Amino acid sequence: MQKSEKIIIIFLLICIIIVNIFIFFIYKMNIDMDKSLENKIVYVTKTGKTAYEIYQNDKIIEIFDNYEEALEYAKKYENSSIKKSGDYKWVWDSNPPYEVYQGYNLLKKFVDYKEALEYAKKYENSTIFFRESNTFIWDSNTKIPNNYQIYNVPRISQYPELFRGCEVTSLTMLLNYKGINVNKMELAEKIKKEPFIFTLNNNNIKYNGNPHQGFVGDIYSKENDGYGVYNEPIYELLKQYIGGEALNLTGANFKDLYYYINKNSPIWVIINSRFKPLSEDEFDYLNTTRGNVKMTYREHSVLITGYDNEYIYYNDPMYPDMTYKKNKNEFIKAWEQMGKQAITYVP
């Protein structure tokens, strides 16, 4: 064997030894860290305090017995979260809420449900995990039939108390079906509000309220100006009652809503009162501080309860005497024209 070859072999052996020592050192550090964290949990539990566990990418990294300290620490790290020891729900979470899996493998995280769903559909045996509810909310192996209808969904009138209250009344029907005891007047009081028109900084420039931020104008009476509210404030209001089970499907395709209808979750939507596409001359714009927002005074909200090959079935807060049906193609086009707004709850 050449001298140079011996030197190379010796060098490689030294490298292998160094790598093994490094691996052992890291392993020992992880064991020591795990033991340290376990000791902290035991200590906090013995003192009768609540242990707040800090995670990064779902791996525990620290423990505190004070929430404010835990939050301050967690905010230093990306994809961090906090939960109480022994509890499966996050009390604070900076991770994107939607996680796409194939089998047991995490593929990608998303902030938006629509993007998560489009990505998940590319893979067989894929699922979507919703961190806010700590459950899987979509499964590619679920077969969707051509027709399905949810029965016994409460029918509630927005009249006479809420002249413009179709959105909160439809939400009331959704919550009541889920078993939440709440009425339309309570929701009308709690929904965020925006003035119909106002001036800013005394510059005499007039602005409209923004339906993406709150209910615009008077929800109660036709004697005053008013418009309505879009999905974001409704979603926030729904979360006040059911927390992480609230699910905003806005932006998804209409067929994607069938998944949840088949699991007996009715769908709150924004549409128009004609339930078919409107001509452009029936639309106008609200001049908001965040730019123009497209609107029509035919804006309406109903609760979808079913579908088949020809019709969409829904409860209408303007006409609560029965479950109605409208032409499927026209209904879908009208819904798309209003921005594909849809909200439900985790099945």
CATH number for the domain that contains residue 191 = 3.90.70.10
Q: What does 234-266 look like in DSSP terms, one character per residue?
A: HHHHHHHHHGGGEEE-TTS-HHHHHHHHTTT--
**For 160-186, what is the mean pLDDT?**
98
At residue 302, does pLDDT exceed 60? yes
Same domain, 241 and 318: yes
Same domain, 30 and 122: no
What pLDDT shows up at residue 27? 44
14 vs 333, which has greater pLDDT? Answer: 333
Instruction: Identify each DSSP E strand in 115-235 by its residue range.
Output: 126-130, 135-139, 148-149, 193-194, 197-199, 206-208, 215-216
50 vs 227, which has greater pLDDT? Answer: 227
What pLDDT shows up at residue 58? 79
Buried b (16+ CB within 10 A) or exposed e, 31-49: eeeeeebeebbeebeeeee
Question: Domain limits at 42?
Answer: 3-93
| Residue (of 298, 305, 344, 300) closest to 322 by Cα position | 305
Same domain, 65 and 212: no
Domain stops at, among 107, 139, 171: 139
Same domain, 86 and 214: no
Same domain, 131 and 204: no
Same domain, 60 and 19: yes
Residue 30 pLDDT grade (very low, low, confident, very high; cuts 50, 70, 90): very low
Structure tokens at 201: 């900084």
d(CA 347, CA 344): 9
pLDDT tens, 79-102? 899 988 777 778 899 999 999 999
Same domain, 163 and 295: yes
Same domain, 133 and 219: no
**For 112-125, what is the mean pLDDT?**
97
248 vs 43, which has greater pLDDT? Answer: 248
What pLDDT shows up at residue 13? 67
Domain stops at, among 55, 75, 93: 93
Same domain, 104 and 179: no
| Residue (of 278, 270, 333) closest to 299 by Cα position | 270
d(CA 28, CA 155): 63
Number of folded domains that form the chain = 3
**For 161-178, what is the mean pLDDT?**
98
pLDDT tens, 255-287? 999 999 999 999 999 999 999 999 999 999 999
Q: What are the residues whose beta carbons fall under 8 Å from the beta carbon of 131, sequence distance 6 or more?
A: 81, 90, 93, 95, 96, 97, 98, 99, 244
At residue 33, does pLDDT exceed 50? no
Same domain, 16 and 33: yes
Same domain, 12 and 73: yes
Q: What are the residues whose beta carbons fall under 8 Å from the beta carbon of 341, sequence distance 6 or more?
A: 230, 231, 250, 269, 270, 335
Same domain, 88 and 198: no
